[in-house]
């Protein structure tokens, strides 16, 4: 039947996905360390109705043929890892990465990566995420600690009531060749994939992986105005595609009614 019907249907499906992604971005506008996503589209294959260069009945050559496209498809949902703003919390276990690195945590015995640095202490005084996943390499804060100081290079020092500092270890920062290829596993965590490449361990402040800021959290990088504009565009595109479907339907109805 009409190819246009399917083209318009593919457009509606694509814009629905676009809205899904925008809605998730907007829902996470206050999620610490959240990175927004963007849906990228591409045109589908083309059907050649008339080959360019073929001859007409009068012997002339057609300089350009006719190609009819088959619609659109979402090619990928692209995570946009631009830096979010910093919010000062003064909480000594709130850490923000200024740069492109990730923290590594152990979740259900598997390595996961996160940019959400709102860490807490668990009952064993390990540094954990709000979900209880331990920061890797593990750091345990002694019971008599009054304050914890974390330097820009990730060195963790605990101070006892006498003011004596003890080094507890170093927080490592991990980077990926292609962070956009990471798999979002929910709870602000990412998993390495074949597309993202292997995580490379690094020291904060070296090789551009970023530095650690204590007492800050990185807020979501979702820009509400930008998302609203994208949402309006997606909604209108959805609407005009539905109009095309209606037109296709009317055209077919006319054809069916030629002979009564």
Partner 1 sequence: MISGIYNLIDGSMTQQLRFETIANNIANSNTNGFKKDIISFNQTLDMQSISKTDFSQGPIRYTGNELDIAMGAKGFLKIETPNGLRYTRDGALSIDAEGYLVTGNGDKVLGENGPITVEGGTVSIERDGQVFVDNETVDKLLVVSFDKPEQLRKEGGSYYSYQGESKEISTETDGVIQQRYLEGSNVNPTQEMIEMIETFRTFESVEKAIQSLDGLTGKMVNDYGQVP
Query: Looking only at residues 25 through 84 of this chain, which bind partner 1 when binding is defined by CB under 8 A?
Result: 38, 40-46, 49-50, 52-53, 56-58, 60, 62-72, 75-76, 78, 80, 82
Least separation, in Å, of the C-beta of 86 and partner 1?
17
Residues 127-146 that bind partner 1 (CB under 8 A): none
Alpha-carbon separation of residue 63 from 48, 67, 160 (angstroms): 14, 13, 83
What's the sign of the alpha-carbon dihedral 101, 106, 107, 111? positive
Residue 85 CA neighbour count, 13 Å, CB half: 7
What is the DSSP track for 180-235?
Answer: GGPEEEETTEEE--TTT---EEE-TTSTTS-EEEETEEEPP---HHHHHHHHHHHH
Residues 215-254 that bind partner 1 (CB under 8 A): 233-234, 236-237, 240-241, 243-244, 247-248, 250-251, 254
Q: Contacts with partner 1: how many residues (CB under 8 A)?
A: 72
**Per CB under 8 A, which region of 84-92, 108-116, 139-147, 176-184 contacts partner 1?**
176-184
Query: Would you say 169 or 205 has its CB closer to partner 1?
Result: 205
Query: Would you say 4 or 215 has its CB closer to partner 1?
Result: 4
Phi, psi of 244 (to 5 degrees): -65, -40
Within 10 angstroms of residue 149's Cβ, the number of other Cβ atoms is 13
For residues 173 and 203, the answer to whether their CB atoms sit within 8 Å is yes
Least separation, in Å, of the C-beta of 69 and partner 1?
3
Asked whether position 207 contacts partner 1 by CB under 8 A, the answer is: yes
Query: Would you say 78 or 120 has its CB closer to partner 1?
Result: 78
Residue 63 CA neighbour count, 13 Å, CB half: 0
Nearest to 81 by CA among 113, 111, 108, 51: 113
Query: Would you say 150 or 182 has its CB closer to partner 1?
Result: 182
Query: Would you say 57 or 162 has its CB closer to partner 1?
Result: 57
**3-class DSSP assignment, residue 45:** coil
Query: Would you say 152 or 195 has its CB closer to partner 1?
Result: 195
**Per CB under 8 A, which region of 84-92, 121-129, 161-169, 191-199 contacts partner 1?**
191-199
């Amino acid at each position: 039947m009409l190819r246009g019907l399917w083209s318009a249907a593919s457009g509606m499906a694509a814009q629905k996905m676009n809205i899904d992604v925008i809605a998730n971005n907007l829902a996470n506008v206050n999620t610490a360390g959240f990175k927004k996503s963007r849906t990228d589209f591409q045109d589908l294959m083309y059907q050649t109705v008339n080959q360019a260069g073929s001859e007409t009945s009068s012997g002339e050559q057609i300089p350009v043929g006719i190609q009819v496209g088959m619609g659109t498809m979402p090619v990928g949902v692209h995570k946009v890892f631009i830096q979010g703003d910093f919010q000062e919390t003064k909480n000594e276990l709130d850490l923000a990465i200024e740069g492109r690195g990730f923290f590594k945590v152990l979740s259900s015995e598997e390595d996961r990566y996160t940019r959400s640095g709102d860490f807490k202490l668990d009952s064993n005084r390990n540094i954990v995420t709000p979900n209880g996943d331990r920061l890797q390499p593990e750091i345990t804060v002694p019971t008599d600690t009054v304050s914890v100081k974390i330097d820009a290079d990730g060195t963790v020092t605990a101070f006892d009531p006498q003011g004596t500092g003890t080094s507890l270890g170093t927080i490592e920062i991990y980077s990926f060749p292609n962070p956009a290829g990471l798999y979002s596993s929910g709870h602000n965590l990412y998993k390495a994939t074949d597309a993202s490449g292997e995580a490379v361990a690094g020291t904060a402040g070296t090789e551009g992986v970023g530095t650690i800021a204590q007492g800050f959290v990185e807020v979501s990088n979702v820009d509400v105005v930008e998302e609203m504009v994208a949402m309006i565009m997606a909604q209108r595109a959805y609407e005009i595609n539905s109009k095309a479907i209606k037109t296709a339907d009317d055209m077919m109805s006319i054809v069916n009614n030629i002979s009564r």
